Structure 1
Amino acid sequence: MNIAIPVTSDGQVEPRWGRAPMVAVATVDAGRITDWVVHQVGWDVAHDQGTEGSHHARIVRFLRENAVEAVVVDHMGQGMLHTLGKMGIPVIPARAADAREAVGQAVTTR
């Protein structure tokens, strides 16, 4: 299972999903993280370029390209929550400040 989480440069949970500069994609197998890849997505810059719909499409494309099956976040706007709901991608609240720990906790509570 691939889980996306917005991250800071020091490995913490980035509080802004749609404005995150970086997103990690964790591969989880048998309840443990087996791979962790940080992507420079630049959504902090791209967010205000173009329409909200084009920004959401950019995020959807990223999720599809990385076969993301769940997202762990601190905060997400209603529009994006609706989009992910239509995609069938669960949004799980981050329950730790450390991003890897937040993913680990999300897996054990699912």
Structure 2
Amino acid sequence: MENNLHLKNYTEILIDEAIEKLWSEMEDICKCQRCYYDTKAIALNHLPSKYTVTTKGEVYTKINNFRNQIQVDVMKEVMKAIMTVSEHCSHNPEEAVKY
């Protein structure tokens, strides 16, 4: 069996990129690791998974082909998730990390 194969959910990669982009444009939200994972989990639960098996170098080539099909939905769901997490933060306000 090939040892350089990877199982990857492309939706997860797109969500990571969307969170990074939207967070860079927003100032009044917590950007701690807990809020990041809460945002990511909410968005992942509202979008279809797109798993594929690739060799290590294929991941970013394939994601570029997939990106245009789902990017609008990903951005919409990530924005909704950011707002949900911001309104219902899982930690005390004193623990918020804004940068």
TM-score (norm: length of structure 1) = 0.26
More strand by share: 1
| Larger CA Rg, structure 1 vs 2 | 2
